[in-house]
A and B are shown apart, each in its own frame.
Chain A
């Protein structure tokens, strides 16, 4: 079942410059979909258009069979789509507990229940609950940002370069977290610069070039597509993906 269907979406930051030029994609229930592509292809802009932070100029965005293009970001968030921005995605001067409180429009008791659930899922956050968010490390901050989004119990999580600026180890841990999250029933659409690693954990992927989804397919198909490989992945892609699909290491 398609959770999210985006059809011929167009838009950008200002009326004059269209960055996303007719993007079409869909996310099914249970998917981890990676959006990869060169710098400036409009990946982050596309996420912001879907999440309602930017107003689409044309095209459709359907979430659970409901047209949401042009909705306010907070309204979209209430419908079950949560967006985690790339960099400034937590409230630095607030404690971890207060940050979690910001996600969620639940009343006090339900909010605390939900927060406790997330503490259980991410023990790190429970440990740091009284620490100011600005004191967290990059990887911890990303976990907190995702947890804020999860407060609303979304069905679909949009992640904008979750591993940007993280060490390779922290990035790998974060990808593990994303996969675990997906197993609990949250579908994921993520933009990633680490295209190779993103393809390893994804079920499907889109290659976005100049504002359009140029190629679509299963992660393995895209990784073996010679054009894609040369453009975005580099030579080391082949053995790693072969390792994934063939079960060898």
Chain B
């Protein structure tokens, strides 16, 4: 039971990283990334290959995952600059599918649908049964660092420029903000974090394969960020853990339904998640912790110096 809880907490924290990644660009700059699973996969494969085939240390694999995700993000944003903004969503969706298909078919590099097994975990042999607890601590530390960075960005003039771009890129541009540079930077950072999350996932489960990176992951992360509150890192983080609770309880819940087959149970689980997303969007469109937007002052003369 303890191992199960540690497992859930670790996967939940990895979803937390993905939620922070999405929140930076979606909540922050209003860019829609439907290919989160693709950047997640890029990081997972980069680190897995670096530490198995190339025998690099795990930390080097993680740094590589961060860089590979960021680079992929940069390529995707810069290749869509001449398109209208909504096309970014479509391009990212396509990007994630391309990554998955490349992983499934370029057998020489990725071992195809067999996946990569035996991805080393830090001090795994030494720790034995304590591995899960130690790994959770490592993931939580990284999550905390990324969270602090995101909160810092959120409250900085840089974060305010991102919000300005979300609200109106044209006005931000004529006011002298290089919109494209801000967008590319934010997207690359976000994709890098998603890549790092992928690496953390691979080294935790020790096995990755193309069918672990389905678009459904992206949908889950959107649910987490929308439910927790777009535009605030704390909201995204809370949303990720709530999502994990929801995913796991949905799994137990469908077990209780009699008569239906296993396939139907899996479908029912997806149904519950879908209903949850609709309910969140309908009942709490701003999420649990919504962005703080200044209200009109009560006294018109307030603040006059």
Q: Tell me whether chain B's interface is mostly helix, strand or loop, or mixed.
A: loop
Q: Which residue of B lies closest to A72 (CB)?
A: B178
Known: A92-B167, A131-B297, A132-B293. A101 touches B174 (CB 8 A): no
Contact between A151 and B175, CB atoms less than 8 A apart? yes
Residues in B whose Cβ lies below 8 Å from that of A130: 294, 297, 302-303
Residues in B whose Cβ lies below 8 Å from that of A149: 174-175
| A96: min CB distance to chain B, Å | 9
Q: Which residue of A lies closest to B177 (CB)?
A: A74
Known: A91-B168, A126-B305, A127-B303. A132 touches B294 (CB 8 A): yes
Q: How large is the interface on B (under 10, 10 to 19, 20 to 34, 35 or more residues)?
A: 20 to 34
| B172: min CB distance to chain A, Å | 6
Residues in B whose Cβ lies below 8 Å from that of A128: 297, 300, 303
State the CA gap A222–B169 with chains docked (Å).
37
B176 CB contact (under 8 Å) in A53, A98, A104: A104
Residues in B whose Cβ lies below 8 Å from that of A93: 163, 167, 291, 293-294
Binary flags per residue of B173-187, CB closer than 8 Å to A gives 1, else 0? 111111110000000
Q: Which residues from chain A sit less than 8 Å from chain B, CB to CB?
A: 51, 53, 72-75, 77-78, 82-85, 88-95, 98, 101-105, 108, 126-132, 135, 148-149, 151-152
Contact between A148 and B175, CB atoms less than 8 A apart? yes
A132 CB contact (under 8 Å) in B157, B291, B295, B303: B295
State the CA gap A219–B222 with chains docked (Å).
56
State the CA gap A90–B172 with chains docked (Å).
9
Contact between A85 and B171, CB atoms less than 8 A apart? yes
Known: A88-B170, A90-B171. A74 touches B176 (CB 8 A): yes
Contact between A135 and B174, CB atoms less than 8 A apart? no
State the CA gap A128–B298 with chains docked (Å).
11
Residues in A whose Cβ lies below 8 Å from that of B164: 91, 94, 102
Q: Which residues from chain B sit less than 8 Å from chain A, CB to CB?
A: 157, 160-161, 163-164, 167-168, 170-180, 291, 293-297, 300-305
Residues in B whose Cβ lies below 8 Å from that of A95: 294
Residues in B whose Cβ lies below 8 Å from that of A72: 173, 178, 180
State the CA gap A82–B217 with chains docked (Å).
44
State the CA gap A53–B179 with chains docked (Å).
12
Q: Which residue of B lies closest to A89 (CB)?
A: B171
Most buried by A among B167, B175, B180, B300: B175
State the CA gap A4–B304 with chains docked (Å).
38
Residues in A whose Cβ lies below 8 Å from that of B303: 126-130
State the CA gap A98–B168 with chains docked (Å).
14
Residues in B whose Cβ lies below 8 Å from that of A132: 293-296
State the CA gap A67–B248 with chains docked (Å).
62
State the CA gap A119–B293 with chains docked (Å).
22
State the CA gap A56–B286 with chains docked (Å).
40
Contact between A101 and B171, CB atoms less than 8 A apart? no
Most buried by B among A98, A127, A148: A127
List 15 A–B pairs whose Cβ atoms lie within 8 Å, in order of A's numbering.
Answer: A72-B173, A72-B180, A74-B179, A77-B175, A88-B171, A90-B171, A91-B163, A91-B164, A93-B167, A94-B294, A95-B294, A102-B177, A103-B176, A130-B303, A132-B294
Residues in B whose Cβ lies below 8 Å from that of A82: 174-175
